[in-house]
């Protein structure tokens, strides 16, 4: 119960990672407030936080700082997970991505610096900031060369966190996450990544497909392992402030699809041509070197892809049954 009686603020707390994190914090005895405006396309869903959880929900954008003043001032730890994650959407509407992933974070962090100086803020960044890998696995020293606006804007926001920490205004940790999957991923938000597409089709009993030859490598991270990384980061002591966090298995997209299909009892996945808009921002193979974070915190991923997909599929089947009964 590391967070027992701790006052915690989770931005983006009705979304996929944020809601799983908020629920775990509440289970550990924390006093949890989540902030989420439920912007269309970003995955926020009020159903992700049941009323019985005891979690306070504030429907606001993190850029609306005056509405968040008391919550910021009272926070012992802030987990900053708000933002748009769609790479394709960022290319179609870059100014929207700029607002959600950069301007709003600047306003929010300036408010944190003013009203709660020195507070621990853990920011959810992305592997996408590195762009096409120059070598594998990708460690913290890898050059930053994003291939889309989402990566540029997320990198800018991470630099806000780090710069304000160097100046003593915040005590921030940045986690650059690989592909995260599991319960509470949005099935309605567009372009949320191939793992959400796989899970949606698995839940619907539809066959899976991979683009191209499917040989691109990934290291999927199950959401409970991701949450564990955030919990470690919220309390860690370290002079290093930016870490890469990835899963424990390196698998090709073809292997990921085959394992997922096997879990759902689906036929062998098909291979289909790469859509042009996705090909333009595809980074090829990527997997993470999490050595630094593991050595600093003792964290390690625990859930295999097969186990994670089974648990996630069971959640969605159960959730669909509950929703059907409610109707």
What range does the domain containing 183 cover? Answer: 7-322
Residue 321 confidence (pLDDT): 52
Is residue 166 in some structural domain? yes
**pLDDT tens per residue across span 234-248:** 999 999 999 999 999
Q: For 274-320, what is each residue's pLDDT tens digit? A: 877 777 777 889 999 999 999 999 999 999 999 999 999 999 999 87
Quick check: 87 pLDDT over 90?
no
72 token code pair: 């910021």
Residue 309: enclosing H or E segment and its boundaries? helix 305-326
User: Would 303 be classed as within a structural domain?
Assistant: yes
Asked whether 195 and 201 are in contact (CB, 8 A), the reply is no
Residue 2: inside a domain, yes or no?
Answer: no
Question: Phi-psi category of 28—alpha, beta or left, where left has phi over 0 and alpha has psi -120 to 50?
Answer: alpha
Mean pLDDT across the chain, nearest whole number?
Answer: 94
Q: What is the pTM of this model?
A: 0.95
Tokens of 130: 């590195």
CA distance 310 to 317: 11
| Side-chain-side CA neighbours of residue 318 (13 Å) | 8
CATH, residue 166: 3.40.50.720
Number of domain units in the chain: 1
Contact 33, 59 (CB under 8 A): no
Is 327 a domain residue?
A: no
Q: Give tens-digit pLDDT for 40-50.
A: 878 899 999 99
């Amino acid at each position: 119960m590391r967070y027992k009686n701790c006052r915690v603020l989770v931005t983006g707390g009705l979304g996929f990672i944020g809601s799983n994190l908020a629920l775990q914090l509440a289970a550990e005895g924390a006093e949890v407030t989540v902030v989420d405006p439920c912007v269309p396309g970003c995955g926020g869903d009020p159903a992700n936080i049941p009323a019985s959880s005891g979690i306070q929900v504030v429907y606001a954008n993190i850029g609306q700082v005056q509405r968040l003043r008391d919550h910021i001032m009272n926070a012992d730890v802030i987990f900053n997970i708000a933002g748009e994650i769609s790479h394709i959407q960022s290319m179609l509407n870059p100014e929207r991505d700029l607002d959600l992933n950069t301007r709003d974070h600047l306003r929010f962090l300036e408010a944190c610096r003013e009203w709660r100086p020195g507070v621990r803020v853990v920011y959810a960044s992305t592997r996408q900031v590195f762009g096409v890998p120059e070598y594998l696995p990708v460690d913290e020293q890898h050059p930053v060369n994003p291939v889309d606006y989402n990566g540029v804007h997320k990198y800018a926001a991470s630099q806000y966190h780090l710069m304000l920490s160097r100046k003593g205004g915040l005590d921030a940790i940045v986690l650059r996450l690989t592909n995260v999957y599991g319960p509470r991923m949005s099935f309605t938000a567009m372009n949320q990544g191939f793992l959400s597409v796989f899970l949606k089709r698995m839940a619907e009993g539809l066959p899976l497909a991979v683009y191209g030859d499917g040989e691109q490598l990934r290291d999927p991270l199950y959401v409970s392992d991701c949450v564990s990384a955030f919990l470690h980061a919220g309390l860690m002591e370290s002079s290093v402030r930016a870490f890469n966090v990835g899963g424990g298995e390196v698998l090709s997209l073809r292997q990921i699809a085959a394992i997922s299909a096997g879990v759902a009892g689906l036929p062998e996945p098909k291979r289909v041509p790469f859509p042009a808009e996705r090909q333009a921002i595809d980074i090829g193979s990527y997997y993470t070197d999490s050595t630094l974070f593991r050595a600093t915190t003792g964290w390690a991923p625990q859930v295999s892809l097969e186990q994670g997909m089974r648990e996630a599929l069971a959640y969605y089947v159960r959730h669909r049954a509950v929703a059907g009964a409610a109707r």
